[in-house]
Amino acid sequence: MNKPFQLDSIIEWLPRRLSQEKPGLLAQLRLSPLPPPSPLTYQDVLETCLKAAVLILLYPKGSEPHLVFIHRTGLGSHHQNQISFPGGGIQPGESIEQAARREAREELGIETEKITVVGQLTPLYVQPSNYCVFPVVAISLVGINFSPCPGEVASVIEVPLSHLLDENNLKQERWLLRGREVLVPFYQFEQHKIWGATAMILSELLYILKEMESPDLAPGSQFPGK
């Protein structure tokens, strides 16, 4: 990158960009296990899937923007022991944004009234759990103090945005998942591997952010191969 991203620049640019056409599935599939678990998209199952919202939060720590992830405990009903964004099922009567804020407040103790929601990414269908996940993007211009829920969060993982934008931290391995061997791409941060639905959602956000410095990555342009 030519220079580090600054949150004040992102918060000026990102809301307008998220209101336009997004790279969507093309960007998500870059971090999909191969072969993928299902050929279906959220549009194919929207009437029958369960609905969930996650919060993607950009905030300052030290001198640069970070994103927060949670390493889930083995006590929850879904995605036990996995790394994910804070989030969960949308309750009756809730909007997508309300659900994302509530889950972030419950899981991480975030004072969500102090963050600014700037838009949403493309929903993603997660076939193993039959959830359609709706990603909500938010920004805080001040640092965040996390108070994780011990029953749901084993640890809080704070990752610099610059680390995720560095292609050298994008790895892949062959794993045995649900009885078959698959090639799994993931973002490596310290001992953590961010993969699956979380990595696929993250891939779209990072692609969009790269547009700030790369005019050739315009909305609707062809997504480059691996």
**pLDDT tens-digit series, residues 134-169:** 999 999 999 999 999 998 999 999 999 999 999 999
CB atoms within 10 A of CB 169: 15
Name the strand (E) or helix (H) holding 182.
strand 180-189
Q: Which phi and psi angles does 7 have, rounded to 5°? A: -65, -35
Q: Cβ distance 79 to 129 under 8 Å?
A: yes
Note the pLDDT of residue 226.
Answer: 37
pTM: predicted TM-score of the whole model, two decimal places: 0.91
Name the strand (E) or helix (H) holding 209.
helix 196-210
Mean pLDDT on 106-119: 95
Note the pLDDT of residue 215.
Answer: 57
As a whole-number percent, the residues of the chain with pLDDT over 90 amount to 79
Q: At which residue do the structure tokens 């990072």 appear?
A: 206
Give the closest residue to 104 by CA, choosing from 67, 129, 65, 60.
Answer: 67
Rg of the chain over Cα atoms, rounded to whole angstroms, equals 17
Mean pLDDT on 55-64: 95
Separation CA 77–CA 69 (nearest Å): 18
